[in-house]
Amino acid sequence: MPTVIPVPDDWRPLSSGWDELRHGHHAGDKDGAVRDCARRLDATAPGSEDDPVLFWTLGLLMLTPYVAFGNPGPGVEEEAVAALSRVARGDDGRTCAHGWHPYEAGVDDVLEHLPACLEILSSPLPQALDDLLAEDLVPGGCLDEAEDEEAEPANLSGPEILTRWQCPRTAPGFARAALDCLGATVR
C-alpha cells in the first residue's frame, strides 16, 4: 500500500539520527550522515512520484543547522548544496492550484514539527486520512499567524494540507529553504 509520501524502509532510524544531529546529540559520523543523505537525494532526484525525493530533501533540511554551524569537514557543505540545488531547479517555474505550501512556513517551526509530521507522511494513505487535523501537518504557529481567516493555511483541512505536502512543488520549495539556511543560491 502506498504511503502519503514515498519513504525508504529504514526511514525512522535515519530521521531520528538527523534530528539528533540537528540538536547536537549525534554520536556517529556527522559528515557521513550528511553525505549519505545528499547522495541518496542525488540518486532519486529529480525522480518519479514513487521516489522519496521529498524525504531526502527534508533530511537535508534537518541537517542544515549542522552544515551551517557545526563545522563540517571539507566538501560536506558543497555536496549538500549541490544536491539541494538539483532539487530546487526541479521546479522549473511549475505552477499549481495551491495558494500555500508547507515550505512557506518558518524553517525553525517546520524543523521542530517535522519528526511528528513524518509519522503521518510515512503512513499508508487511508490510515493517514483518519481524523487528520491541520495541526498534524503544519506547525501550530503557522495556523495561528494567519491574520485573515480566509488565508491559507488557516482555513485548510488536514486532507487539504496533505495535498500540499504531496504537490510536486514541495520538494523544490524545501530545497530552496535549506539553501537559504546555508546562505547558498540555486546553482
The DSSP H or E segment spanning 127 is helix 125-129
pLDDT number for residue 164: 92
What the block records as the C-alpha cell of 157 is 483541512
Give the three-state DSSP class for 155.
coil
Output the pTM of the full model. 0.92
How is residue 151 annotated by DSSP?
S
pLDDT number for residue 86: 94
Write out pLDDT tens, residues 36-49.
999 999 999 777 77
Give the three-state DSSP class for 3.
strand
- 140: phi then psi, degrees, rounded to nearest 5: -55, -40
Write out pLDDT tens, residues 7-17.
999 999 999 99
- What mean pLDDT is reported for the chain? 88
Write out pLDDT tens, residues 125-145.
777 677 788 888 888 767 665
Give the three-state DSSP class for 57.
helix
- Counting Cβ atoms within 10 Å, is residue 48 exposed (0-12), middle (13-18) or buried (19+)? exposed
Q: Which of 172, 108, 100 is nearest to 139 (CA)?
A: 108
Q: Which of 118, 14, 52, 37 is nearest to 83 (CA)?
A: 37
Residues of the chain with pLDDT under 50: none
**How far from chain centre, in Å, is Cα 187?**
19
Give the three-state DSSP class for 162.
helix
CB neighbour burial string for 62-87, b if at least 16 within 10 angstroms, e if fewer: bbbbbbbebebeeebbebbbebbbbb
| Packing angle of the helix pair 107-121, 11-22 (nearest 10 deg) | 160
pLDDT number for residue 138: 84
pLDDT number for residue 24: 87
